[in-house]
Amino acid sequence: MAPVNAPLASTWRFCCPVRRRELSTDRAGRLLGGLSRDNLVGMDEHPATPRASRIDPRRTVLYAIARRQHLLITRRDALDSGFRRDEIDGFLRTGRWQLVIVGVYAPAAVTVDPLLRLRALQLRHDDVVASHETAAALWGLLGHTLQRHLRCVRPRDSRLRIADATVRWRRDVIPVDVVDGVRVTTLARTLADLREVHGPARLRSVYAEACRTSDVTPDDIRAELCDGARHVRTAHAVLDGVHVEVRSKSRAEAEFQALLVDVVGATPPVRNAQVRLSNGQIIEFDLLWPVERLAVEFDGAPFHGLDLDRISDAERDDWAAVDGYEVSRWGNEALRRPDLLIADVRRRLAARAPAPST
């Protein structure tokens, strides 16, 4: 028995086996990355029971299933693993599990974000495909982030009523791709669907950036537009302008790169160099001197004239600066005064040249 004057924490530690069991469970959860068979469904056995005899085979099976499904558990998974309905309801009632969507659960320690809810929705309904703004965020299109409200489509003639989600059905064939383990509409179809969401100015900016940084072309997007659908005329008008912009940008950028290809620092410049930043983002520079970490970008008006474009460029430059890159941006004036461009790049290269080894 604990002394009369012992602190309350010591009394709990010596006299309450339940408290000791919970501490042991938390420690195991930390060692296994926050999830273990114990904190997945709870431990109701007395801690004095030998460890080998306390392992429930049902828990082992369900743990393996959850690890394959991004820590998600369907009600059918739990029933097939041998758990009774009243046990499942008890896990939800006591807070060991949390409801993600109807019929899909996650351990209490897991943070439920929009991506996990989308995974749960597709786990529950295997014909649901992310579309519109949700697919645009997964594809990483300009100015799109994954929002709480999800937007999806399905081929069946029925609608799902899911909280914070819109699931509509499509009569035509839905072209599907997979991004980060999630079923999404293809990039061309996603861009075509955005005509229902954005106005012409925003749509032109998104289309131009996508055509510049990916393999998709205006003709690919045009092929996904269905005659008679909403805002098709607007999309066609935007694509006509983007098609001209892409061709003019390619010519101007090639001329811009040709002006600097002979300006050599420690190494010659690399054209269209792709760099992975510390935040995981992959960006492409028009010209990059790798040793000096100097990048030069050509900002033509069709692609960088809107406020949204300038904000995106500034954010990208800030992330590049965190990793030690200096970005110098030039517009059409570089083609009119190439002497100023070359002199500026030489000055920057000299300032960022590595110190000679002694």
What backbone phi and psi angles, to 5 degrees, belong to 36? Answer: -140, 170
Q: Which pairs from 254-258 meet CB under 8 Å and 24+ separation?
A: 255/335, 256/286, 256/298, 256/330, 256/334, 256/335, 257/286, 257/287, 257/298
Averaged confidence pLDDT in the chain:
76
Q: What does the pLDDT read at residue 117?
A: 95
Average pLDDT, integer, range 28-32: 33
Distance CA 86, CA 333 (A): 73
Model-level pTM? 0.59
Q: What does the pLDDT read at residue 344?
A: 87
Cβ atoms of residues 47 and 20 within 8 Å: yes
Distance CA 77, CA 94 (A): 20
If pLDDT is split at 50, 70 and 90, which confidence band does 303 have?
A: very low
Q: Which of 191, 192, 195 is nearest to 231 (CA)?
A: 195
Burial of 351 (0-12, 13-18, 19+ CB in 10 A): exposed
Q: What does the pLDDT read at residue 42?
A: 47
Q: Over 50: is that where the pLDDT of 304 sits?
A: no
In the chain, where the domains are located: 11-112, 116-251, 261-351
If pLDDT is split at 50, 70 and 90, which confidence band does 48 have?
A: very low
If pLDDT is split at 50, 70 and 90, which confidence band does 97 have?
A: very high
3.40.960, 3.30.110, 3.30.70, 3.40.50: which CATH number matches 261-351? 3.40.960
Q: What does the pLDDT read at residue 52?
A: 46
If pLDDT is split at 50, 70 and 90, which confidence band does 4 have?
A: very low
Kindly report which listed range (24-28, 95-99, 116-120) carries the lowest average pLDDT score: 24-28
Highest-pLDDT range among 114-123, 142-151, 228-237, 268-277: 114-123
Q: What is the pLDDT of residues 330-342, one digit of tens each?
A: 877 777 778 888 8
Q: What does the pLDDT read at residue 53?
A: 46
